[in-house]
Amino acid sequence: MIQSEIFNIPKEKSSLVGVVSGSSRNADCPVASPRPFLKWVGGKTQLLEQFAQLYPQQLKERKIDKYFELFLGAGAVFFDVIQKYPIDKVFLNDINQDLILSYRVIQNNADNLIESLFDLQQNYHQSDKERRQQIFYQIRQNYNQQRINFDYSQISSESIKRVAWLIFLNKTCFNGLYRTNQKGDFNVPCGRYKNPNICNQSNILAVSKVLQQVTLQSGDYSSLDKFIDNRSFVYIDPPYRPIKKTSSFTTYAKSGFSDRNQIELSKYYQHLSKNYHAKVMLSNSNPHNTDIEDDFFHNLYQEYKITEVYAHRMVNSDASKRGKITELVITNY
């Protein structure tokens, strides 16, 4: 069991006043509708229209007042739900400490983060191709070295710098991937974007606003048990089971997520359903895309409703192998 930390700390007063607009400073920048501020492998933005048909009816009837995400990632479903339904309490968890740190910094220090991102964006946009690569690889090296003794328990100037680096790397690296090697180092190469939007001020302000009453946690997915009850909607989006043995983009945390982990997660799904009577929705890959006889998830979740949704996945480096596939959504209602 991984040690978890709940971050519900007093927030610094933030003006949430616009700091940057494009390449200039603007105190009147409007606050937009919040959306994911990072590109994440397996992000759900493209599936939200299909998901809307699969949310529990009780959510629409205002009979649910708590929302949980146990594997947060880019948070597309969270941003969708929180804008559509009157949720009183939100609990967001992910094992990736850097990811949760980024949410915490935006929650508590949006203005300072925007300043840092603005400086990074100006420097990058004004540099030629060779200089851009130098900037990218220097920041990647600094980001990886800083991790070794980094204190994730406190928000500091170093935290803001680290999150700025993470967002910078995400916006400028190849395909916008978040991938680490076995040592835990970010290892995606530099991309070729002409003018990447490194400092999306309006979205950061919007995200900060909706995070103000959110409880953030970095730890094991089961450690939110004590908050879950029969008026809860729990969305579970674990690292997907590879549909091919050669798949390499399902690991976003050093530990990976094996078939044994998937089986353990299915038991937790049953636990939430039978002991807490929470409404639970889980996403995963569909093995039938490549092997019609692979009933791994159909066997694990045979007593629950399994729906296929269509996704267009872009993680393959070979563009000719990218395209529409089906994924599974498993609900207990």
> How many C-beta atoms surround the C-beta of residue 179 within 10 A?
17
Q: 69 φ, ψ to 5°? A: -125, 125
- Round to whole Å and give the CA distance between 40 and 37: 9
pLDDT tens, residue order, the chain (333 aa): 334 444 443 344 333 433 443 334 444 556 689 999 999 988 899 999 999 999 999 999 999 999 999 999 999 999 999 999 999 999 999 999 999 999 999 999 999 999 999 999 999 999 999 999 999 999 999 999 999 999 999 999 999 999 999 999 999 999 988 899 989 999 999 999 999 999 999 999 999 999 999 999 999 999 999 999 999 999 999 999 998 755 544 444 455 799 999 999 999 999 999 999 999 999 999 999 999 999 999 999 999 999 999 998 754 545 555 568 999 999 999
CA distances from 252 to 1, 72, 195, 223, 267 (A): 18, 12, 26, 20, 22
Domains observed in the chain: 18-331 (3.40.50.150)
pLDDT at 20: 41
- Round to whole Å and give the CA distance between 208 and 40: 19
Tokens of 240: 């997907």
CA distances from 154 to 80, 101, 111, 139, 200 (A): 29, 9, 18, 22, 25
pLDDT at 324: 84
pTM for this one?
A: 0.87
pLDDT at 246: 52
Residue of 29, 259, 156 whose CA lies nearest to 164? 156
First to last CA, the chain: 29
